[in-house]
A and B are shown apart, each in its own frame.
Chain A
Amino acid sequence: MSDGHRRVRVDSVTKLFPNAQGGTFTALQDVTFDVGDFEFLSIIGPSGSGKTTLLRILGGLEFPEHGAVVIDEAEVRGPGRERAIVFQDFALLPWRSVLGNVVFPLELRRVAKGERDRRAHEAITLVGLAGFEDYYPNMLSGGMQQRVGLARALAVEPEVLLMDEPFGALDAQTRTVLQDELLQIWERDRKTVVFVTHDMAEAVFLSDRVLILSANPGTVHRVVTVELPRPRLDELRRTAEFADLVGDVWETLQTLTR
């Protein structure tokens, strides 16, 4: 699916954290991979494989001890306008309405009010929340809250969308619905997506490639290319090819957690 041009390069990234004994713990070691232009890449791995840390490094919230992340030929030294993160626990501002949350990053960037509202409404409509602009987060279900999180990220029109287990906190049914909708949005407006998950079916269903990390320390163990045709619809989940690929990823993860 990738057109060959690479957008993101993760170059031998090593991340250390201090541990309780006063020493260091290697969260990521020598992690290297590329993400192509408009590619949908998932990162999956057992807990402790540093997948969230890796996403935070891509987002510029965390910095590697060795190695670098390069986006569009520029080394990442912090958050940037070409990226937006969708957070696992939504990270909505509870004192702001749906609209208020979606315009928030646009306010930070001093986008003019008219333009701000136009883009926010567009994003809110895209995620199916039109009519809920004035609701507050505590009035919404988890699934709807994450739609707001997604709308907020889309409103800044990023080139690279970073998603940190965005549907991990949701029930299975809602998760499936949101996966379908995410793909629909992505088909219409292709972006480069890096999607962290611990759900194998989710990774296979969404992605062009699935990057499997091993734990302690986190290293790239294997990359699975998903050659299922797009657009992918719900029926795909009940096909043999899909089941085979999920089984393949499952077996690889089994060897890692044993």
Chain B
Amino acid sequence: MDAGDGTSPGGAAVVQPRPALVKVRAPGREWWFLPLRILSVVVLLGAWQAFGGQERSGIEFLPRFSDVVQGLVSLVQDDEFWRATRDTVQVLVLGYALTVVVGIPIGVVMGAKHIVRRALRPLVGILLATPIAPLVPILIIMLGIGISARVATIFILAVPILIENTAASVATVPRRLVDMGHSFGASRRQLAMAVIVPASLPGIFAGLRLAAGRAVVGMVVGELIIASAGLGQLIQLYSTTFDAPKLFATVVAVLLIGLGAVQLVQIAERRSGRWRR
């Protein structure tokens, strides 16, 4: 890249896009990529269709794929399903918002301040490694069986991974950028907002993505253990009534919510990072 330097007036040279002589495709862009993807899904669903609904497969209640699709169709026509979904998503949004608002500042301070890092590391580590289920009864005792206990379940599950990722990326912000900010007289606040946080964004977004996944887990756990509410209530209902098609369909709905949450984070990430390529 430096080779062109000094050749144009003022020694300035820039890397210009030039017409490619050979077509170079990024990996994953070959012509057979999409058909292969479709094929693998078709094979899986076909096997499911073939195996489902048969006692001799040794599996008691595996509905056919087509049954699940039917279940899904009847679900989306059901007001109860939409009420449950709204309830579920609402709690998810609350829990995730709390996670973001609390997790990022704590992570930033932890990454920037050695003492805070020392103090909080063990706590965050314990939370990261603890299975959530045994904590839920404690949350119920503390918060009752309302929305707050479900929000807290999401928060406790999601916040440590966000804190950990934020702290790790803040701690590895290049020293030269911090020095640069200092040398031009940046205040602490300016240094945090204009240098440290933007420089840590890739790590923070990695944390946000992981936290979104864990928030969805917390959402389902909360609904299954704490209160029969939202989609968790439907899951319980359909599993106790052995309505396998609808059970599967509800699980698919939960999966889609999880996927959607992670997608939203990725869209936000792409918007924030147009300088990165």
Contacts and interface: CB of A to CB of B under 8 A. Distances in A.
Interface of A: 56, 59-61, 79-81, 83-85, 87, 89, 91, 93-96, 104-105, 107-109, 128-129, 132, 135-136, 138-144, 147, 156, 170-171, 173-174, 177-178, 181
Given A91-B177, A173-B6, A141 B183 contact: no
The 9 A-B residue pairs with the shortest CB-CB distance in the complex, in nearest-first order: A128-B10, A105-B184, A91-B180, A177-B11, A143-B5, A91-B176, A174-B5, A85-B183, A95-B275
Contacts of B194: 104, 107-108
B182 interface: yes
A128 B5 CA distance: 12
Interface stretch (B12-20, B130-138, B145-153): B12-20
B179 interface: yes
A138 B185 CA distance: 25
B190 A108 contact: yes
A155 to B, nearest CB: 10
A95 B273 contact: yes
Nearest to A156: B184
Nearest to A90: B176
Given A135-B14, A139-B14, 7 more contacts: A61-B182, A79-B184, A108-B187, A141-B1, A141-B4, A170-B5, A173-B6
Contacts of B187: 108
A144 B12 contact: yes
B277 interface: yes
B2 A171 contact: yes
A91 B179 CA distance: 9
A171 B3 CA distance: 9
Contacts of B190: 108
A93 B198 contact: yes
A177 B176 contact: no
A80 B187 CA distance: 12
Given A93-B198, A94-B275, A60 B14 contact: no
Contact of A87 (B5, B179, B276, B277): B179
Contact of A174 (B6, B179, B201): B6
A181 B176 contact: no
Contacts of B185: 79-81, 105, 108-109
Contacts of B2: 141-143, 170-171, 174
Contacts of A108: 181, 184-187, 190, 194
Nearest to A136: B275
A104 B176 contact: no
A27 B179 CA distance: 20
Contact of B183 (A79, A93, A95, A140): A79
A132 B16 CA distance: 12
Interface string B158-200: 0000000000000000101101111111110010001100110
Max chain A C-beta neighbours (<10 A), residue from B190, B275, B277: B275
Contacts of A128: 9-12
Max chain A C-beta neighbours (<10 A), residue from B10, B180, B276: B180
B14 A141 contact: yes
Contacts of A85: 180, 183
Nearest to B11: A177
A94 B275 CA distance: 7
A129 B181 CA distance: 22
Interface in B197-214: 198-199, 201
Contacts of B15: 139, 141
A181 B6 CA distance: 11
B268 to A, nearest CB: 15
Contacts of B276: 94-95
A77 B255 CA distance: 57
Nearest to B181: A108
Nearest to A173: B6
B199 to A, nearest CB: 8
27 contacts: A59-B183, A60-B183, A61-B179, A61-B183, A79-B182, A81-B185, A84-B183, A91-B179, A93-B198, A93-B199, A104-B184, A107-B194, A108-B184, A108-B186, A128-B12, A129-B10, A136-B275, A139-B15, A141-B4, A143-B6, A143-B11, A144-B12, A144-B13, A144-B14, A156-B184, A171-B2, A181-B11
A93 B195 contact: yes
Contacts of B199: 93, 95
Contacts of A94: 275-276
Contacts of B277: 138
A171 B182 contact: no
A144 B5 contact: yes
A173 B275 contact: no
B180 A132 contact: no
